[in-house]
Chain A
Amino acid sequence: DIQMTQSPSSLSASVGDRVTITCRASQSISNYLNWYHHKPGKAPKLLIYAASSLQSGVPSRFSGSGSGTDFTLTISSLQPEDFATYYCQQSYNTPWTFGQGTKVEIK
C-alpha cells in the first residue's frame, strides 16, 4: 500500500496568513494527488485534483504543486472559512490512501 504522510499535523495561523501543507507519498504516484478540506459534520470538499488543478468553484487562493512523491497545498491568504482539517489523498492505485490530516486553527 502507498503511505501518505502530511506535515504538519496541526498549525495555528491568522486571517490573511500564507499557509503551506506538505504531503509525501511512500512511492511515486505521478500527479494522482488530491486535496480536501473537511469541517466537522460536513461533507469533505475537493479543492485540488491532479496535484495542481483547481476544482471548479474553489477560490483561487488555493493552489497545489508537486509530482512523484512530494506535494504541497498553499493557501495564499487564509480566510475565516478556511479553518478546517485538510487531507491529501492518492488516487494512483488502490487502496486510495489519505494522509493523516492537517488541522488549521485560528491563532
Chain B
Amino acid sequence: EVQLVESGGGLVQPGRSLRLSCTGSGFTFGDYALSWVRQAPGKGLEWVGFIRGKTYGGTTENAASVKGRFTISRDDSKSIAYLQMNSLKTEDTAVYYCSRGNCASTSCYVGFDCWGQGTLVTVSS
C-alpha cells in the first residue's frame, strides 16, 4: 500500500525551530517529488514548498511566505523527506501535510495522488 506518514509536530515557541518528517512506503520514494502543504486553523490549503525527485536533481522551491526560513530535504535511502522550519512565527501554526507527485521540473500533470494524515504544529509562547 502506498503511504505517507508525517511526524515531528508539536508546540514550539516563536522564533524556535522544528523539523517535520514525511516517511513513505509502498513505492520507489526517489522517483517522486514531495510537496508540503499546510492548513492553518479555519483556513484553506496553502502550498509550502516541494523537493524534486532524483531525475530533476532533488532541488527545492518554497513559497514566498516561508522562503529563507523553511528548508526541504530528502533522504531517499530512508524514504524520508524533511521540512526544517526555523524562525517560526505564530502564523505558521497549522496542520502540515506531505504529498507525492510525479512531476516535471515545475509542473505536475497528474496531481498529488497520495497524502499523509498531517501533523499539527502550534507556534505559541
Q: Which residues of A are interface residues toward B (Cβ below 8 A)?
A: 1, 32, 34, 36, 38, 41-46, 48-50, 53, 55, 85, 87, 89, 91-101
Contact = CB atoms under 8 A, between A and B. Distances in A.
Q: Is the interface of A mostly helix, strand, loop or mixed?
A: loop
Given A49-B110, A98-B44, A91 B103 contact: yes
B24 interface: no
Nearest to B109: A50
A91 B104 CA distance: 10
Given A50-B109, A89-B111, A91-B111, A100 B44 contact: yes
B93 interface: no
Contacts of B45: 36, 38, 44, 87, 89, 98, 101
B11 interface: no
Contacts, number: 75
A10 B94 CA distance: 22
Contact of B111 (A46, A94, A95): A46
A94 B47 CA distance: 9
A53 B37 CA distance: 22
A42 B118 CA distance: 8
Contact of A44 (B63, B64, B99, B101): B99
Interface residues of B, number: 26
Contacts of B109: 32, 49-50, 91
Which one of A85, A91, A101 has the greatest number of beta carbons of chain B within 10 Å?
A91
A100 B44 CA distance: 6
A45 B115 contact: yes
Given A48-B111, A50-B110, 18 more contacts: A32-B109, A34-B111, A36-B45, A38-B45, A45-B115, A49-B111, A50-B109, A50-B111, A89-B47, A91-B108, A91-B112, A94-B47, A94-B50, A94-B106, A95-B47, A98-B45, A99-B44, A101-B44
Interface string B88-121: 0000000001010101001111111101111000
A47 to B, nearest CB: 9
